[in-house]
Structure 1
């Protein structure tokens, strides 16, 4: 079984507002700058330019449950499934990102990825609450 870490942030905005923002791939550079910039649509998919090259993204269909899961296809052809949820919490919501240890990932790499995702979630909170 793969080791997982559930990283979350509470956002003082309604679920519908957070979901609408986070589910739009064009907003990724505003809250997940580590993923890349220059998001573009290509048919049914999306692509982001990263320092490692062009990365493909496929997102869960729009839904009322806050599911923001997506699949990342790296330039090397690796496919990574990313579970991401926005969950109602009173008048606000909690966004939960499940970070999984990849095959051969060292402890240092897992800690680095944990820090990157935590920073992205903090950025999401700042951007959405500041709107």
Structure 2
């Protein structure tokens, strides 16, 4: 039986799946569309170093262009799992975030708002 709370959202984007995938699969783009989560990103051996304020965390960025998946796996806790799929002449970007066990409902609701803003930003940047 699942124990973690999750948030799953998706957004339609008027850009090809290949264009959306290329954008979200590049960790360097994270500060542009998820600035509350990541200030800077840099490669660090087999992981990426994500910085936000004074916080640093190593993240494995696992991508599959064939399957349209971009997963951000953190040793400190549950990860983020995303997928780009065809939607007519455009794409659908699906985003699922797992919360650590014991997360408050207020934290989940606040993060849900942030995710919706981030997805809107991805759409805006990919459609530009």
- Structure 2 length as normaliser, TM-score? 0.90
Alignment of 1:119-130 (within 5 A): 119-130=117-128
Task: State the Cα distance separating 1:62 from its structure 2 match.
Answer: 3.8
Moved more, 92-101 or 113-122: 92-101
**Partner of residue 36, structure 1:** 38
- 1:49-95 deviation per Cα after TM superposition (whole angstroms, max 9, x unaligned): 1135112111113431110111134xxxx232211111111111111
Alignment of 1:52-71 (within 5 A): 52-71=54-73
**Partner of residue 26, structure 1:** 28
* Aligned CA distance change for structure 1 residues 113 and 41 (closer, same or farther; 3 Å): same
The answer on whether the counterparts of 2:15 and 2:91 sit within 8 Å (CA) in structure 1 is yes
Q: How many residues align?
A: 126
- Give the Cα separation in 2 of the matches to 1:117 and 1:56: 21
- Give the Cα separation in 1 of the matches to 2:79 and 2:124: 25
**What RMSD over aligned residues (CA atoms) do the two structures have, in Å?**
1.4
- Structure 1 length as normaliser, TM-score? 0.88
Establish whether residue 95 from structure 1 lines up as the match of residue 93 from structure 2: yes
| Residue segments in structure 1 that go unaligned for 5+ positions in a row | none
Counterpart of 2:81 (choices 83, 87, 97) is 83
Consecutive aligned runs of 4 or more in structure 1 exceeding 3 Å deviation: none
Counterpart of 1:115 (choices 109, 113, 116) is 113
Task: State the Cα distance separating 1:9 from its structure 2 match.
Answer: 0.9
